[in-house]
Structure 1
Amino acid sequence: MSKIITLLLFSYGSMFSQQNTATYDYGHNGMELVATKSNETVIINNFNAKMTIREDIAEKLLDLYNANGLITDTDITVIGDEAKVNGKIIIQKKDKLTSVNFYYEKVEWNSGLTEVYKKP
């Protein structure tokens, strides 16, 4: 009887410990959002972005930029409505123009699926 219970516990535990992970080698690259902030123009660019969440993530990035929450050449996590996205942020400034470039590396969907970007 104890062997059956042990087997059931291991089966139950392994059923919930598996993570659904996939890779992708495509994505949307381009300018998502242009905003003006006190004599400064800010452009939010996404690279390797998933089409369905790219606008939401761009808006969250702009909010982080406006709150001075972005540091160039760092890895960050952006929590959107449908997914949490991990990636690298690169900020470039020239005069009154600021370009915020976000490179998707991993997308953790609310459904449980995790997609990792893999260069083709």
Structure 2
Amino acid sequence: MIDRYDPEVTPDPAEWLALDEGERIQLVEAFHREARIPLPKSARALHAAIHAVVENQLAMDDQAIVRDTLQRLLEDGLTRHDALHAIGSVLAERIADAYQESSGTTGGDES
């Protein structure tokens, strides 16, 4: 059973996926708090949720593209934590794009 999260260490996929989503997010939040990584209070939960989603993708059998991307980023010299952030930033962009499409906004200047 996973009781600590460290983004530099790959969690056991079966154990990670056996956790409740809320537990995963709490573990990620606890890591950042204990490591004293500065995050705006308003962004902590979202930051942890994106970490958890990326770890979920890495742990799932059908997400080889995410694992391949992580491996490439590690080979390029990023730490695992920074690589998770890079993957998470792409995820966040896709979420924002999907939201804009569904709400009919483009995010650009419409004047």
Greater strand share, structure number: 1
The alignment's TM-score, normalised by the length of structure 1, stands at 0.26
Point out the structure with max Rg over C-alpha. Answer: 1
Q: TM-score, normalised by structure 2?
A: 0.28
Larger helix share, 1 or 2: 2
